[in-house]
Structures are given as C-alpha cells and as structure tokens.
C-alpha cells in the first residue's frame, strides 16, 4: 500500500467512524424490564439521572471530532464507558417489590465499534494549508456548517447543564462556517482610507474647477 493510499484509507476510517457514532445515538441503547428499549437521545431526557446526558454528550462530541481527528474516538469511548459503568437510572414510580433490570442494546456496541475504527484513522484529516485559498476555506465551511447544526439541535434536545455546552459549541461552529463561506473583503483598512482620500481630493479638484 502506497503512502497516498494509506492516507486515503485513514481518512476513510475517520469518515466511517464518525458516521457510525452519530448513527448509534439514534439506535436503541438500553432496555428496562419495566418498559420498551430506549435510544441514546431518549436516555438524555430529564427523567434520567444527569450522568446519562453527560455520557451521550461525550459520545456526540467524539463522533464530531472523529471526522477531523482519530482522537475523537477516545471521547466516544469515555462516554460509552460512563454509560455502561453507571447505567442511567430512571425515576419511575413502581412497587417496592419490583426490581428494575436493564440490558444494553445495539447502539452501545455500534458506538464502541465506531470509536475503535476512529483510532485507526488519521490524527488530523485536514491539510495544514487548508485556509490559504478561497476554495479550501469554503470546503471547510461546508463541513463545519452541518456539524454545527447537528450539535446545536442535539444540545437543544437534552436537559441542562450539558445542553449549554453543546449548543454553544454548535453556535461557534456555525459562526466559523459562515465566516469561511461568506466572501472575504480583500481591501485592507489602509486601502479603504486611501480610496476615501482620493475621493476627497477628486471632489476638491471639481470644486476648484467650478470656482474658476
């Protein structure tokens, strides 16, 4: 395998891992004997303990970062580990003699698989000279914009205080993407002031001609 092929394979691993992680949060993660199985988003509801929101937030953050760097897989692994080590406790009113049990579903293992694939990816998928050209800036903006939207929307779906972090992160990504996508003003402040100076001189010369 040549060096170019190896780089492409690593970047493909980043894309696949991010897709698997983000898809996993919409799949079933845990099943209680007192009700139907729930997805990761559903476990971030206020009826669960706060550790569920934190775990899912780490998984989402890792999924987003995995698209740019393989180290995002570590965040996802931390979120999955927290979810499994301390399963979300649901505040249910049941009889005192009823024992609530739970089991983990496909979404947990899919997120872990995505995180494992992420570690095989590239440390940094974007070239360091990406922002040097207008075309590359627009490409980066087109990547950050949907990521910002997904992060902000997901943050709005989960309870406080973790939602604030995700919403702010989403808005920051949206702001940066808009800056990259909007046309840059190539004229510097000095050039603008110089043009104003030329305009004043032109107006003054016209007044002198009229006076003569």
pLDDT tens, residue by residue, 76-102: 999 999 998 888 776 554 545 655 667
Is the full-model pTM beyond 0.85?
Answer: no
Residue 120 — pLDDT band, cuts 50, 70, 90?
very high
pLDDT number for residue 57? 83
Distance CA(44)–CA(107), nearest Å, equals 14
Q: What is the mean pLDDT of residues 3-7?
A: 76
Distance CA(10)–CA(70), nearest Å, equals 9
Residue 70 and residue 21 in contact, taking contact as beta carbons nearer than 8 Å: no
Looking at 36-40, 113-117, 184-188, which range is the least confident one? Answer: 184-188
Q: What is the number of H-type helices and E-type strands within the chain?
A: 8, 3
The DSSP secondary-structure symbol of 95 reads -
Helix or strand or coil: residue 42? helix
Distance CA(140)–CA(118), nearest Å, equals 20
């Amino acid at each position: 395998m040549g060096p170019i092929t190896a780089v492409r394979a690593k970047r493909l691993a980043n894309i696949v891992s991010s897709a698997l992680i983000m898809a996993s949060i919409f799949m079933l993660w845990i099943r209680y004997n007192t009700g139907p199985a729930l997805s990761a988003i559903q476990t971030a509801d206020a009826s669960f303990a706060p550790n569920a929101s934190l775990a899912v937030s780490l998984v989402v953050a890792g999924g987003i970062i995995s698209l740019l760097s393989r180290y995002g897989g570590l965040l996802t692994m931390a979120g999955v580990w927290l979810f499994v080590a301390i399963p979300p406790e649901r505040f249910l009113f049941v009889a005192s003699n009823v024992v609530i049990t739970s089991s983990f579903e496909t979404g947990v293992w899919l997120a872990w698989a995505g995180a494992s694939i992420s570690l095989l990816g590239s440390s940094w998928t974007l070239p360091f000279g990406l922002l040097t050209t207008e075309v590359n800036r627009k490409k980066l903006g087109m990547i950050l914009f949907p990521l910002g939207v997904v992060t902000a929307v997901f943050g709005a779906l989960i309870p406080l205080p973790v939602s604030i972090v995700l919403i702010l992160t989403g808005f920051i990504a949206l702001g940066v993407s808009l800056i990259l996508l909007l046309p840059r003003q190539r004229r510097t402040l000095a050039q603008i002031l110089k043009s104003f100076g030329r305009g004043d001189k032109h107006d003054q010369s016209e007044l002198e001609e009229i006076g003569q």
